Amino acid sequence: MSDISANGPVGGPASAPGKPKVSIIGQSARMKARNRTESIFKVLGLSAILFSLAVLALMLFTIFRDGTSAFFQTKATFPITLSAEVIDPAGNRNRDDLAKQTTMTYNKVINEAFLAALAANGIKTDDVPQKEITEMISKGAAGELRADVLADPALVGQTIEPSIVLGGRIDGYMKGRVTRESAERDSNVTLGQLDLADRMKEAGMLATVWNWDFVTNTDSSDTRPETAGLGVAILGSAYMMFLVLIMCVPVGVAASIYLEEFAPKNRWTDLIEVNIANLAAVPSIVYGILGLAIFINVMGGQMGVEALKMSASLVGALVLSLQTLPTIIIATRSAIRAVPPSIRDAALGIGASKMQTVFHHVLPLAMPGILTGTILGLASALGETAPLLLIGMVAFVANYPSAPWEGGFSDPATALPVQVYSWASRSDPAFIERSNGAIIVLLVFLLIMNLTAIFLRRKFERRW
Amino acid sequence: MTVLPLLMILAVLAAAGFILGRQRALALAGGETKKLHSLPAYYGWHAAIMAFVPAFFALIAWLLIQPFFIESAALSHLPASVLEDSTSSTLAMSDVRKIAAGLDNAVYQGALTETDIDALNASEGDLRAFFGTVGVALASPVSPEVLSAAKQYRETVASASIVRAVVILLIAVAALAWALKLTAPDFWARNRVEKVVLWLLMLASLIAILTTVGIIWSLLSESFNFFSQYPIGDFFFGLTWNPKFGGGSDLGFIPLFWGTIYITIIALLVAVPLGLFAAIYLAEYASRRTRAWVKPMIEVIAGIPTVVYGLFALITVGPFLRDFFSAPMGLGNSAASVMTAGIVIGLLNIPFISSLSDDIINAVPQSLRDGAFGLGSTKSETIRQVVLPAALPGIAGAILMGASRAIGETMIVVMGAGAAAKLSLNPFEAMTTMTVKIVGQLTGDTDFNSPETLVAFALGMTLFVITLLLNVMAVWIVRKYREQYE
């Protein structure tokens, strides 16, 4: 249209009388405008995609920038003499007697050893008050040392050289989070302490090292961000994923088989179908309300089922199972539907019953699809936070849940994404680093699950 | 005997049943499989199912019914004044249960023996402090009635669990024996097994219905409870949200609703253009290879947990908006704001909108495009004037679904929108939403039966109804549109 109309009345300004004629091979001004719109439109589409991906990249970048340091911890190494008179006054190396010494005792031992080590290394300390020097050591260090001694009473009387965790501010200074300017406004740290930390670093007493404790420790109180770890959260998430797997997958697969292969087409099954579609769109927090009202208040409270209580991973798993069920049913049904009818016809033709056809032929062929859907469902359950807040999993949990065969499923626990939230809502900026670190751990788990799903799909996908 | 070992014994019995049933069938047929009606394994399965399933359901029924009987036995120890109203008897019963658990703990830790417990007397010493040491915190001192009720409760629970184990195992063994008696070469084992399996499959599909019933029941019952304490009109039309600990709170829904809607609108303003343009590019312009790479990458956005976006809103987007937009423009200096939460929810919704729109655009018949090209349209003209109008109902459905997700989103608003319930037009001000207040009211320390806590259920019900309506409407629109071209 455009090229021909160059001479016609609709050709726009180019063909107006009195103007020089334009070649029909070149573009008219109107055509140029249309082509410009075309390329703008295309660029808009491309930039929408690029913008979305750029934001994603920015988000991941900030997480890794702020979170990687959570896996490292500033520790001081100096000899500590665990003198028997102080730690084991009873003198019998008995674990029960050793346990009578509180962290106060160990605190004193560490402080004295620290001051002695500073003097031995020739580090100048006269400009910093002694109280401030000992405050550089984490409040959690004494507890760790005590646990070491209780685990191995033979240490009493020996001189050991453990890595002692330093306070959150010193740690932040070594990692560049705390600057001298911010320290001046901060009542938890003095410039003298920072100077001393610099001197210790020069003398090789202090180093920022890889920190497994971040993955294994329990959570700690607001004043000790440096010892807070993800142990309880990882264990809680693992318990919940296991329970979701054994509760949700069999039920989901069974329901899908029934709906896809056996259900008569009537109002009743229509109701179930609409129901499942709508359940998939119910906001996750509503499942939290359901868990609180039914599992905790009615079943745990009024009916007295003791395994169902606030913060228990069993309750969390029940809630997540109900929430994941529609996802698994939808994925399983489409996997079953993808198995061609000829397979069923062949099996039925040689005399298999309907049930044998489904369990011996359709289900094995649909298995890769079911597995993929299950893994993706579990991955989304692993990242779910809001319903777990309502059933109390955000509470501070100081002890690891016990092993599953000792009733660990009903012990209080937290979950990885909930830990991200609860650390992010604390005031100390050191917890933001931990929160980002927790996200990295969570993302690693999600990545592994998704890659497994992709691998399964690539490996076993069948085109009929 | 607790439930877990009992279940394990049942599983072992079922496994034994499988072997016994199979062998008995083979023995009766003299080892000749062709004399059997069904394959030998079906006789095994039949015995296994008979050993496990009836006992399992009996166990579940027992677990559901037992508390009522035990509680009535324990409650008979309590004074009549406590039993008069239901709240005080529920509280007393929970004390009884806690003390019983405390006694169990004490025995387990070796602090008490069974004879000590018999001799335990509420008037001697400080029992409350004692229970504190074994890990049971009590709100009030232990009264003699409650203590004797707790002792009774413990004894009944202990004896009930023995009786339960015996009864359940008897059922399992009896059913297994019966199954073995039924086993004969002309017994239709396969048909019976398949019938039971079919029932089990059907039962599984009913769980989805039960979930819905559970959701609706839990929301409705507590909402009724709330509306009996707080006038329904004041809730739905109240303009102030100001919960107080001592009672006399204003629990008006409108500010929360406004915050929710405002954030949703901003989220859609971000997600719809970006998602739609991305979908158009992927569906109409991108080469097959680009598509294969870019589509999964966009879907990664949806795979990241929302709490991660919450943190992103809290520490990156919020301060950025505050420092570069709201503070220089004098619109406020709060990092948490409607804008922060709206933008981040919008980003999260991009893949959702784009993949739905992508499907819908691809469903527009190629003949429409060919017709437009044939008339000389450029590609973008075809898209704008032919493809999009044809896809419009489906896209509207996708937008409604996106709105429903934005309304129900929790973590991003909890971390990025703030907690102040306000009716304001300034998008850089902190406002709050229904989901934030559900979390806030249910994770606080207030008494569960106060209106301040129960309001969360009314909010939850409203949220459930709104999102459900939006989804039903969206599905209806999309389905209607699909039929148009089929």
Q: Measured between beta carbons, which residues in chain A are less than 8 angstroms from residue B414?
A: 386, 421
- Residue B457 clears pLDDT 90, i.e. is over it: yes
As a whole number, mean pLDDT of residues B375-403 equals 92
Structure tokens at A249: 């997958």
CA distance B81 to A330: 53
CA distance A193 to A396: 30
Q: Are A118 and A73 in contact (CB under 8 A)?
A: no
Query: Hey, is the C-beta of A283 within 8 angstroms of any chain B C-beta?
Result: yes
- Residue A11 clears pLDDT 50, i.e. is over it: no
The single-letter DSSP state of residue B253 is S
Predicted pLDDT at B486: 57
Query: Hunting for tokens 């259900």 — which residue is that?
Result: A263
Query: Hey, is the C-beta of A420 within 8 angstroms of any chain B C-beta?
Result: yes
If 0-12 CB within 10 Å is exposed, 13-18 middle and 19+ buried, where does residue B61 land? exposed
Instruction: Write the pLDDT tens digit of every residue in A170-214.
Output: 888 888 888 888 888 888 888 888 888 888 888 888 888 898 889
Contact A283 B407 (CB under 8 A): yes
Query: Is residue B108 classed as helix, strand or coil in its secondary structure?
Result: helix
Predicted pLDDT at B125: 60
- Residue A278 clears pLDDT 70, i.e. is over it: yes
Task: Write the CB contacts of B159 (distance below 8 Å, at least 6 apart in sequence).
Answer: none
ipTM of this predicted structure: 0.89
Residue range A231-460, CATH number: 1.10.3720.10
- Residue A8 clears pLDDT 70, i.e. is over it: no
Contact A286 B312 (CB under 8 A): no
CA–CA min distance A201, chain B (Å): 31
Confidence of residue A22 (pLDDT cuts 50, 70, 90): low
Confidence of residue B1 (pLDDT cuts 50, 70, 90): low
As a whole number, mean pLDDT of residues A332-354 equals 94
Structure tokens at A171: 């740690």
Instruction: Please state the separation of Cα B313 from the chain's center in Å.
Output: 25
Q: Which residue has the higher pLDDT, A405 or A7?
A: A405
Q: Which residue has the higher pLDDT, B97 or B328?
A: B328
Closest partner CB to B316 (pick from A62, A292, A306) = A62
List all residues of chain A from 3 to 32 with a beta carbon under 8 Å from chain B: none
Predicted pLDDT at B446: 67
Closest partner CB to A251 (pick from B70, B207, B407) = B207
Instruction: Give CA separation, B35 vs A39, A142, A447, B121, in Å.
Output: 78, 76, 54, 71
CA distance B31 to B22: 11
Which CATH number goes with the domain that contains B409?
1.10.3720.10
> Are both B213 and B300 inside the same structural domain?
no
φ/ψ region of A198 (left if φ > 0, alpha if ψ in -120 to 50, else beta) reads alpha
**Phi, psi dihedral angles at B52 (to 5 degrees):** -95, -55
Residue B477 counted as domain residue? yes
Contact A285 B457 (CB under 8 A): no
Structure tokens at A384: 């779910």
**Would you tell me the crossing angle of helices B254-280 and B338-363 to the nearest 10 degrees?**
40
Query: Hey, is the C-beta of B463 within 8 angstroms of any chain A C-beta?
Result: yes
As a whole number, mean pLDDT of residues B32-47 equals 89
As a whole number, mean pLDDT of residues B178-188 equals 89
β-bridge mates for residue B241, sequence order: B251
CA distance A308 to A227: 30
Confidence of residue B250 (pLDDT cuts 50, 70, 90): confident
Residues shown for chain B: 486
Query: Is residue A132 classed as helix, strand or coil in its secondary structure?
Result: helix
- List the single residue in A with minimal CA-CA distance to B473: A278
Number of domains present in the structure of chain B: 3
β-bridge mates for residue A80, sequence order: A160
CA contacts within 13 A on the Cβ side of A301 = 15
Predicted pLDDT at A357: 95
CA distance B240 to B434: 14
CA distance B146 to B211: 36
Predicted pLDDT at A269: 84
Residue B70 counted as domain residue? yes
Report if pTM > 0.90: no
CA–CA min distance A95, chain B (Å): 17
For chain B, percent of residues with pLDDT exceeding 70? 90
**Would you tell me the crossing angle of helices A416-424 and A430-460 to the nearest 10 degrees?**
150
Q: Measured between beta carbons, which residues in chain B are less than 8 angstroms from residue A360?
A: none
> Are both B417 and B466 inside the same structural domain?
yes
CA distance B104 to A444: 41
Q: Are A321 and A331 in contact (CB under 8 A)?
A: no
Predicted pLDDT at B484: 66
Q: Measured between beta carbons, which residues in chain B are less than 8 angstroms from residue A38?
A: 378-381
Closest partner CB to B201 (pick from A258, A385, A436) = A258
Q: Which residue has the higher pLDDT, B131 or A366?
A: A366
CA distance B11 to A145: 46
CA–CA min distance B118, chain A (Å): 23
Query: Hey, is the C-beta of B217 within 8 angstroms of any chain A C-beta?
Result: yes
Contact A384 B305 (CB under 8 A): yes
| Alpha helix ranges (H) inside A68-100 | 84-87, 95-98
List all residues of chain A from 60 to 89 with a beta carbon under 8 Å from chain B: 62-63, 66
- Residue A308 clears pLDDT 90, i.e. is over it: no
Query: Hey, is the C-beta of A263 within 8 angstroms of any chain B C-beta?
Result: yes
Query: Hey, is the C-beta of B282 within 8 angstroms of any chain A C-beta?
Result: yes
- Residue A13 clears pLDDT 60, i.e. is over it: no
Confidence of residue A2 (pLDDT cuts 50, 70, 90): very low
Predicted pLDDT at A147: 86
- Residue A315 clears pLDDT 90, i.e. is over it: yes
Predicted pLDDT at B331: 83
Look at residues B341, B304, B338 and name the one whose alpha carbon lies nearest to residue B431. B338
CA distance A85 to A107: 15
Residue B392 counted as domain residue? yes
Burial A266-299 (b: 16+ CB within 10 A, else e): eeebeebbebbbbbebbbbbbbbbbbbbbbbbbb
CA distance B168 to B195: 23
Query: Is residue B274 classed as helix, strand or coil in its secondary structure?
Result: helix
Contact A42 B281 (CB under 8 A): yes
- Residue A1 clears pLDDT 60, i.e. is over it: no
Residue B206 counted as domain residue? yes
Q: Are A84 and A105 in contact (CB under 8 A)?
A: no
> Are both B62 and B176 inside the same structural domain?
yes
Instruction: Write the pLDDT tens digit of every residue in A428-449.
Output: 888 999 999 999 999 999 999 9
Confidence of residue A14 (pLDDT cuts 50, 70, 90): very low
**Phi, psi dihedral angles at A208 (to 5 degrees):** -100, 115
| Best to test chain B binding among A51, A257, A270, A286 (most B CBs inside 10 Å) | A286
Q: Which residue has the higher pLDDT, B147 or B371?
A: B371
Query: Hey, is the C-beta of A264 within 8 angstroms of any chain B C-beta?
Result: no
Q: Are A31 and A15 in contact (CB under 8 A)?
A: no
Query: Hey, is the C-beta of B465 within 8 angstroms of any chain A C-beta?
Result: no
Confidence of residue A9 (pLDDT cuts 50, 70, 90): very low
As a whole number, mean pLDDT of residues B293-302 equals 90
> Are both B220 and B247 inside the same structural domain?
no
- Residue A12 clears pLDDT 50, i.e. is over it: no
Contact A52 B278 (CB under 8 A): yes
Contact B378 A35 (CB under 8 A): yes
Contact B274 A48 (CB under 8 A): yes
Letter for the amino acid at B339?
A: M
Q: Are A77 and A160 in contact (CB under 8 A)?
A: no
Instruction: Give CA separation, A371 vs A250, A461, B139, in Å.
Output: 12, 11, 49
Sign of CA dihedral A41, A42, A48, A54: negative
> Are both B73 and B92 inside the same structural domain?
yes
CA–CA min distance A1, chain B (Å): 6
Q: What is the dihedral of CA A309, A314, A319, A320, to 10 degrees?
A: 150
Instruction: Give CA separation, B149 vs A239, A278, A463, B96, B152, in Å.
Output: 35, 46, 67, 6, 5
CA distance B77 to A54: 68
Query: Hey, is the C-beta of A348 within 8 angstroms of any chain B C-beta?
Result: no
Predicted pLDDT at B483: 64
Query: Hey, is the C-beta of A289 within 8 angstroms of any chain B C-beta?
Result: yes
- Residue A4 clears pLDDT 60, i.e. is over it: no
Sign of CA dihedral B441, B447, B451, B456: positive
Q: Which residue has the higher pLDDT, B138 or B432?
A: B432
Structure tokens at B7: 């279940």
Predicted pLDDT at B78: 74
- Residue A288 clears pLDDT 90, i.e. is over it: yes
Confidence of residue A78 (pLDDT cuts 50, 70, 90): confident
Contact A48 B201 (CB under 8 A): no
> Are both B182 and B192 inside the same structural domain?
no
Predicted pLDDT at B86: 65
Instruction: Write the pLDDT tens digit of every residue in A250-260.
Output: 999 999 999 99
**Phi, psi dihedral angles at B364 (to 5 degrees):** -70, 125
Confidence of residue B124 (pLDDT cuts 50, 70, 90): low
Average pLDDT score over chain B = 86
Predicted pLDDT at B466: 95
- List the single residue in A with minimal CA-CA distance to B63: A305
Query: Hey, is the C-beta of A421 within 8 angstroms of any chain B C-beta?
Result: yes
Q: Measured between beta carbons, which residues in chain B are less than 8 angstroms from residue A251?
A: 204, 207
Instruction: Write the pLDDT tens digit of every residue in A141-161.
Output: 888 888 888 888 888 888 888
Starting at the edge strand found earlier in the chain, the sheet holding A206-210 runs A163-165, A72-77, A206-210
The DSSP-derived string for B29-98 is TTT-GGGSSS-HHHHHHHHHHHHHHHHHHHHHHHHHHHHHHHHHHHHTTS-HHHHSSHHHHHHHHHHHHH
Predicted pLDDT at B281: 94
- List the single residue in A with minimal CA-CA distance to B294: A49
- Residue B150 clears pLDDT 90, i.e. is over it: no
Instruction: Write the pLDDT tens digit of every residue in A410-423.
Output: 888 999 999 999 99
The DSSP-derived string for A141-178 is HHHHHHHHHHH-GGGTTSEE-PEEEBPHHHHHHHHTSS
Q: Are A28 and A5 in contact (CB under 8 A)?
A: yes
Query: Hey, is the C-beta of A342 within 8 angstroms of any chain B C-beta?
Result: no
Contact A278 B471 (CB under 8 A): yes
CA distance A27 to A4: 10
Print the domain residue range for B166: 3-187
CA distance B456 to A81: 57
As a whole number, mean pLDDT of residues A341-367 equals 94
Query: Hey, is the C-beta of B478 within 8 angstroms of any chain A C-beta?
Result: no
- Residue B121 clears pLDDT 70, i.e. is over it: no
* Largest Cα–Cα separation, chain A: 116
Structure tokens at A124: 């100048």
Instruction: Write the pLDDT tens digit of every residue in B392-430.
Output: 888 999 999 999 999 999 999 999 988 888 888 888 988
- List the single residue in A with minimal CA-CA distance to B192: A355
Predicted pLDDT at A445: 95
